């Protein structure tokens, strides 16, 4: 039975842009309207969370917390930076949890820091949403396939927005860096990678793009320039010695935060399914597996191979991330979509896409009963499993990809 054709406006870029903007605004207004709640000790604390210590949680007992806590962390980091306060300390009177980003990220929150929470929150969510939108529009797929990819990533985009996280920015910057390299815009590509690195350190994986394109010396020089400029940018508002201390404190916090965490990752999957607790070994194996496809240096001129490497990279940074959580999967799911459209159509590929949509993107929604989520989805890290499976498929396909062949689509530009 043939399915009815969807109306053409569903695939128009303007339609997707409007929907992404509406989603961003709706999520911000919804969170703000929920007001505050009083902190009490959680019934089911996360065992791998740095905040899961009685001495830390006691500082928050009875305090009001907002439903957009992550944004509050980002916003007030700017004020801690300019006042010379420890960016990586606890501030129970303002927000829950630690700030875990760079001093540069704190500085770049300046445009929103002086706005009211609702205004800043709306702008923050819009920034995340449109970064993903415009990055996908830069990819070398037809407009229709870009639209389908944006629809496919929509559930995860909304999850990211409802958590006021920065993962939309990370996803968009990494994709945009690739697209800029494809079009010879090395200066912009290296800026996006450096910026992603100063948001979350795993953004540095984008520097692997140097291998695929000519002008590698220029790539290295631009990368070094942007990393230096962004690294010292906070000197505009803070003394040099204070900035060094901030970076030192950041390194300490990242180290402490990583000690026991496994997250929605390969390590978490092995732990919950098989009782295997070898996070360090899993990380080492993950790094080795990441570099193996890069040994196929004769494939670097193959655009399909490069597109698959982008998908491989976007999946890898999540499934091997010890701090991967539900809101980070916008990155992995975008990688799944890119892998799908970079290859020839096949029913088994579509089946994997549907598997990701159901058990990754929709596993935390109301389509699954609370009992199923509590006793199956959450305890067994089901959200990560389809992405792990797709990553394995991408790995095998990259290793078996035959002689170079051009991607089927012509380059599409942002209209």
The whole-chain average pLDDT of the chain stands at 91
Domain ranges of the chain: 23-400
Q: What is the pLDDT of residues 300-321, one digit of tens each?
A: 999 999 999 999 999 999 999 9
Q: What is the pLDDT of residues 161-184, one digit of tens each?
A: 999 999 999 999 999 999 999 999
Token couple for 158: 């909304």
No. of helices (H) and no. of strands (E), the chain: 19, 2
Residues 6+ positions from 128 with CB-CB distance below 8 Å: 24, 157, 160, 161, 165, 166, 167, 168, 169, 172
Q: What is the pLDDT of residues 2-61, one digit of tens each?
A: 545 778 888 999 999 999 999 999 999 999 999 998 988 776 655 567 777 778 888 888
Yes or no: say if 265 and 318 are a contact pair by the CB < 8 Å rule: yes
Yes or no: say if 404 and 299 are a contact pair by the CB < 8 Å rule: yes
- Rounded to whole angstroms, how far apart are CA atoms 174 and 172? 6
Quickly state the pLDDT bin for 138 (edges 50, 70, 90).
Answer: very high
Q: Is 231 exposed, middle or buried (0-12, 13-18, 19+ CB in 10 A)?
A: middle
pLDDT recorded at residue 4: 57
């Amino acid at each position: 039975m043939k399915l009815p054709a969807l109306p053409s406006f569903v695939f128009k870029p303007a339609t997707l842009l409007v929907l992404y903007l509406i989603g961003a605004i709706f999520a911000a207004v919804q969170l703000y309207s929920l007001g505050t709640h009083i902190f009490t000790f959680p019934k089911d604390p996360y065992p791998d969370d740095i905040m899961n210590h009685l001495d830390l949680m006691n500082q928050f007992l009875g305090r009001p917390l907002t439903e957009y806590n992550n944004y509050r962390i980002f916003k007030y980091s700017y004020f801690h930076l300019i006042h010379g306060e420890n960016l990586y300390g606890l501030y129970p009177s303002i927000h829950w949890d630690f700030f875990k980003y760079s001093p540069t990220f704190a500085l770049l929150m300046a445009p929103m820091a002086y706005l009211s929470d609702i205004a800043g929150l709306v702008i923050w969510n819009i920034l995340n949403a449109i970064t993903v939108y415009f990055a996908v529009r830069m990819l070398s797929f037809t407009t229709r396939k870009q639209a389908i990819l944006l629809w496919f990533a929509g559930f995860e985009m909304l999850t990211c927005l409802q958590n006021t996280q920065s993962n939309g920015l990370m996803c968009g910057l990494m994709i945009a860096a690739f697209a800029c390299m494809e079009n010879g815009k090395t200066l912009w590509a290296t800026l996006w990678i450096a910026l992603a690195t100063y948001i979350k350190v795993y953004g540095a994986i984008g520097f692997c793009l140097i291998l695929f394109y000519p002008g590698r010396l220029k790539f290295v020089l631009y990368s070094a320039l942007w990393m230096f400029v962004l690294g010292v940018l906070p000197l505009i508002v803070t003394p040099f010695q204070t900035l060094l201390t901030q970076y030192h404190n950041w390194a300490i916090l990242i180290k402490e935060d990583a000690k026991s965490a496994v997250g929605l990752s390969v390590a978490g999957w092995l732990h919950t399914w098989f009782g295997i607790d070898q996070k360090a070994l899993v990380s080492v194996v993950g790094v080795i597996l990441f570099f193996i496809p890069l040994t196929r240096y004769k494939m670097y001129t193959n655009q399909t191979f490069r597109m698959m490497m982008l998908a491989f990279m976007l999946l890898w940074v999540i499934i091997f991330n010890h701090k991967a959580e539900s809101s980070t999967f916008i990155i992995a799911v975008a990688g799944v979509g890119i892998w799908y459209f970079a290859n020839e159509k096949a029913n088994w590929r579509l089946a994997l896409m549907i598997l990701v949509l159901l058990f990754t993107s929709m596993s935390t929604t109301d389509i699954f009963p609370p009992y199923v989520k509590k006793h199956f989805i959450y305890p067994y890290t089901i959200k990560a499993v389809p992405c792990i499976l797709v990553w394995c498929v991408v790995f095998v396909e990259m290793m078996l990809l035959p002689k170079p062949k051009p991607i089927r689509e012509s380059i599409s530009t942002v209209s």
